[in-house]
Amino acid sequence: MESDEQSPQLKGVVIISLPPPDNPSLGKTITAFTLTYNDYPQSHQTHQEDQLPISPPPPLPSQNPQLQFPTSRLFLGTPRKLLSFVFLSLFALAIYNSLFTNTFQELKSNNDDDDDQKPKSFVFPLYHKLGSREIPLNDLANPLRRLVYKENLVASVDHLNGPHKISKLASSNAAAAMDSSTIFPVRGNLYPDGLYFTYMLIGSPPQPYYLDIDTGSDLTWIQCDAPCTSCAKGANALYKPRRGNIVPPKDLLCMDVQRNQKDRYCETCNQCDYEIEYADHSSSMGVLATDKLLLMVANGSLTKLNFIFGCAYDQQGLLLSTMVKTDGVLGLTRAKVSLPSQLASQGIINNVVGHCLTTAVVGGGYMFLGDDFVPRWGMAWVPMLDSPSMEFYHTKVVKLSYGNSPLSLGGMDSRVKHVLFDSGSSYTYFPKEAYSELVASLNEVSGAGLIQTLDTTLPLCWRANFPIRSVKDVKKFFKTLTFQFGTKWLVMSTKFQIPPEGYLVISDKGNVCLGILDGSKVHDGSTIILGDISLRGQLVVYDNVHKKIGWTPSDCAKPNRLDSLPFFDSLPFFDGAC
């Protein structure tokens, strides 16, 4: 149209319709109704935006941003025209208001989507184990060493160099986020299985492995066909390493793992050997391997990164009988080789670990890595003891009571004032003196209606002259255990309370048993170890950034920020494209 051509006078309205919610790909629809006093016919055009081809709307009367509505001519028509105009104007106003509101919501949604591109805290579901495998004894010698492969294996491991890789389902900008976390569902129970476990997706293509969550172990390891000398049945197929997966002894994490072993760095070796012996004298031996670890972020995106873990080809002792529902151990201490430390060193999370185990008989809960799921209020915090030789999560306790009766902490020996939080232990352990005093205090329940009896489940059990279906049926006979931290003054101290549900177990014979054991031969013999039985019903957080341990009561169904957990039943199937 020429610039000097007379523009038709326009009266009408432009209606913009949003796409239906169930099919947003249709885009917006722009419908223009025009009526002029020239010989132009009435125009009606539709404009599809977004993913569909764009058709321009009919030309407006001028390049002028202001539309001129000549009222002298517009209202010279019949009253019907006037009413039509008023109706169309009101309708257009309503459409505009609706459009403005939705546009604002779209912009807000886009901002939220940008935030979602960042990896958020990782949360794991939790599940359970039989036995009382305890803390690795780091100062043990390593008498059992052998080569896994006969041929020379020279691996070039680039596990911590450069930014971590992000899968095609996550944003490439996600790697830079420090405030990120991942959440894992947890399954398990205290009795009869005796453990809580979650799953990890490892390898290319990724395969699921069920791992016992253990805040008392440094190294994550899975059973491995390298070939396997002695392996338990396990829940999944053995991990099969390739030559490129084997970590060489010059790797810094290898040196860290071997620092407490008798035979340390081997310059002529082509692999990094390790052996872990647990307090129940079971052991795991293998080599360090590296492979891809696939983590699902809380917003549903996937993050793929390099991860160093143990390829365990020789298990001995109780591990062979207890690893029926699991494939290995998930190490969660402060050690450099632990999973949270590796993720933190790559800038993926802040080094914070949390777990929440339900008190339900069927067990479960969740675990997270990162600080996004830490409650901002309602937590009780105590300082974490920071010892270069101790990577465990422990703190100092100043007083321990059963009801109103104090229990001995061992006199002047300060070591017995340490409390260690260990999710890898099924039960809780007291030093000998405190344990003896607790057992003596429990003699009062025998005169209250319970009778001490023999039971192979645990050393100290009672039966009743009525059916015992749960701890609730007998909790009235027992008292609460209270740990005081910071000061002996009750009002000013930080308290961790364990109700009868936190130290009693109902056996398969219908007896009630004490889930606190004599710890004089466990660890150093003078540390209180809080195991799964006493950690249930609490959200426990290990903040390695600020060196503190915190807890708050919880039903452990899910974090407040999540609608649901990605439980095992919804494990995705992956192909080689990941």
Selection from 104, 300, 319 nearest residue 214 by Cα: 319
Label residue 524 by pLDDT band (50, 70, 90).
confident
User: For 78-89, what is each residue's pLDDT tens digit?
Assistant: 566 666 777 777
Measure the CA–CA gap between 83 and 291, rounded to whole angstroms.
Answer: 73
Nearest 5°: the CA angle 373, 375, 379 is 135
Query: Is 422 annotated in the active site?
Result: yes
Residue 573's pLDDT band (boundaries 50, 70, 90)? very low
In the set 214, 218, 291, 543, the catalytic residue is 214
Dist. CA 261–CA 250, nearest whole Å: 15
Rounded Cα–Cα distance for residues 426 and 533 (Å) = 6
Instruction: Give mean pLDDT, residues 284-298.
Output: 90
C-alpha distances in angstroms, 221 versus 33, 304, 337? 70, 18, 11
Cβ contacts of 219 within 8 Å, gap of 6 or more: 257, 274, 276, 309, 310, 329, 331, 335, 337, 338
> Considering only 178-187, 218-227, 493-502, which range has the smallest mean pLDDT?
178-187
Q: Look at 208 and 24; give whichever has higher pLDDT.
A: 208
**Residue 326 banded pLDDT, cuts 50, 70, 90:** very high
Catalytic-role residue among 193, 273, 372, 422 = 422
Confidence (pLDDT) at 298: 64
Tens digit of each residue's pLDDT (9 = 90 or more) over 56-73: 334 444 444 443 434 434
What's the pLDDT tens digit per position in 417-443?
Answer: 899 999 999 999 999 999 999 999 999
CA 173 and chain centroid, separation: 21
**Percent of all residues in the chain with a pLDDT value above 90, rounded to a whole number:** 48
The rounded mean pLDDT for the chain is: 75
Q: Is the pLDDT of residue 224 over 50?
A: yes
Confidence of residue 100 (pLDDT cuts 50, 70, 90): very low
pLDDT average, residue stretch 180-195: 87
Cis peptide before 499 (omega within 30 of 0): no
| Cα 148 from Cα 109, distance rounded (Å) | 53
Closest CA to 517 of 504, 500, 536, 501: 504
Instruction: Tell me what pLDDT residue 336 has.
Output: 95
Q: 214 an active-site residue?
A: yes
Tokens of 227: 């070939």
Average pLDDT value for residue range 217-224: 97
Q: Is the dihedral of CA 74, 79, 80, 83 positive or negative?
A: positive
Tokens of 61: 């009367």
Query: What is the pLDDT at residue 509?
Result: 94
Phi, psi of 528 (to 5 degrees): -80, 125
Judged against a pLDDT cut of 90, whether residue 384 lies above it is answered with yes
DSSP letters of 471-518? GGGTGGGS--EEEEES-S-TTTSEEEEE-GGGTEEE-TTS-EEE-EEE
Give mean pLDDT, residues 541-562. Answer: 92
How many Å apart are CA 342 and CA 308, to the nearest integer? 8
Instruction: Between 567 and 574, name the one with better pLDDT.
Output: 567
Residues 485 and 381: their CA atoms lie apart, in Å, by: 9
* Nearest CA among 195, 201, 192, 184 for reference residue 127: 195
Q: What is the pLDDT of residues 104-126, one digit of tens each?
A: 333 333 344 444 444 446 766 66
- Show the 3-state SS of 60-120: CCCCCCCCCCCHHHHCCCCHHHHHHHHHHHHHHHHHHHHHHHHHHHHHHHHHHHHHHCCCC
Judge whether 140 and 284 are in contact, CB under 8 Å. no
Q: pLDDT category, 48, cuts 50, 70, 90? A: very low
Which among 312, 136, 318 has a CA at the least distance from the CA of 229? 312
Angle at the Cα of 284 from the Cα atoms of 283 and 285, rounded to 5 degrees = 125
* DSSP tag of 206: T
13 vs 434: which has the higher pLDDT: 434
SS3 for 104-121 is: HHHHHHHHHHHHHCCCCC
SS (H, E, C) 322-365: HCCCCCEEEECCCCCCCHHHHHHHCCCCCCEEEEEECCCCCCCE
Q: Choose among 460, 328, 479, 497: nearest CA to 405.
A: 479
Q: What is the pLDDT of residues 338-371, one digit of tens each?
A: 999 999 999 989 999 999 999 988 888 999 999 9
Spell out the residues 6+ positions from residue 22 whose beta carbon is closer than 8 angstroms to its own: none
pLDDT at residue 231 tops 90: yes
Instruction: State the Cα–Cα distance between residues 268 and 260, nearest whole angstrom.
Output: 19
Place of tokens 């020789």: 314
H or E segment to which residue 253 belongs: helix 252-257
Pick from 534, 526, 551, 535: nearest CA to 417: 526
Query: 396-418: per-residue pLDDT in tens?
Result: 999 999 999 999 987 655 545 89
Q: Which of 240-254, 401-415, 515-529 has the highest mean pLDDT?
A: 240-254
> Global pTM?
0.70
pLDDT of residue 74: 38
State residue 192's pLDDT score. Answer: 81
CB 457 within 8 A of CB 507: yes
